[in-house]
Amino acid sequence: MEAKKGILMVISGFSGAGKGTLIKKLLENYDNYALSVSMTTRQPREGEQDGREYFFVTREKFEKTIAESGLIEYATYCDNYYGTPKAWVEEQLAAGKDVILEIEIQGALQIKEKFPESLLLFVTPPDAAELKRRLEGRGTETAEVIAKRLSRAYEESEGMDAYDYIVINDDLMQCVRELHAMIEAARNEPVRRKDFIARIKEEMKTFRTEQ
């Protein structure tokens, strides 16, 4: 029988759409998911730990990792590099884990190109006004930062069509269940069951009769 390989999935979404909380709940409620930790050149924020939120590295180290083909994708975002370390992702997939990459759209498109069987999910609130309300409600950002993020959200909305599923985050727990159900359903799409299809097609040949 075919080895059970995990699904490589990308979760992107507008800043303020609740993507982080959604992923946290997914990891808490189901045990087959593994969240990749990216490498970045940006400075750690208050409370962030090296190796937990990100691997915080210098530009030199990042560029060396690119040169050594150590990343499966990378992008620049607001003047910093962000990238996904290759070895860990490959290990987890081989062990049958469904690997989540929480990355932005340039990275998502590279992943789809390199791994056509990857699953691209985009998290959005039900409408634009709700996104603004959520960003303002957090009370952690200045009006200027909020305006920047909303403008960035406009740009990101232009790329939503490239994703496999849109995840509308209205009620959080309902959204977590829906997201999990989407991933489970995606497991049996032919693009992800190529080995199974190849085997059963071979087996069926024994039933062939010449017409």
Binding site for ligand 5GP (CB under 6 A): 38, 42, 73, 75, 77, 82-84, 102-104, 106-107
As a whole number of angstroms, the distance between CA 52 and CA 76 comes to 20
Least distance to ligand 5GP, CB of residue 159, Å: 12
Least distance to ligand 5GP, CB of residue 84, Å: 4
Among all residues, whose Cβ is closest to ligand 5GP?
Answer: 107
Tokens of 170: 């209205």
As a whole number of angstroms, the distance between CA 120 and CA 108 comes to 7
As a whole number of angstroms, the distance between CA 81 and CA 62 comes to 8
Query: Residue 145 or residue 172: which is nearer to ligand 5GP going by CB?
Result: 145
Query: Residue 6 or residue 83: which is nearer to ligand 5GP going by CB?
Result: 83
Query: Residue 42 or residue 148: which is nearer to ligand 5GP going by CB?
Result: 42
Query: Residue 38 or residue 124: which is nearer to ligand 5GP going by CB?
Result: 38
As a whole number of angstroms, the distance between CA 89 and CA 91 comes to 5
Q: How many CB atoms neighbour CB 17 within 10 A? A: 23
Q: For residue 111, count CB atoms less than 10 angstroms from its CB and return exposed for 0-12, middle for 13-18, buried for 19 or more.
A: buried
Least distance to ligand 5GP, CB of residue 152, Å: 9
Please enumerate in sequence order all residues whose Cβ is within 8 A of that of 190, keeping only pairs 6 or more positions apart, or say none: 197
Helix (H/G/I), strand (E/B), else coil: 210 = coil
Least distance to ligand 5GP, CB of residue 184, Å: 24
Least distance to ligand 5GP, CB of residue 160, Å: 14
Query: Residue 7 or residue 153: which is nearer to ligand 5GP going by CB?
Result: 153
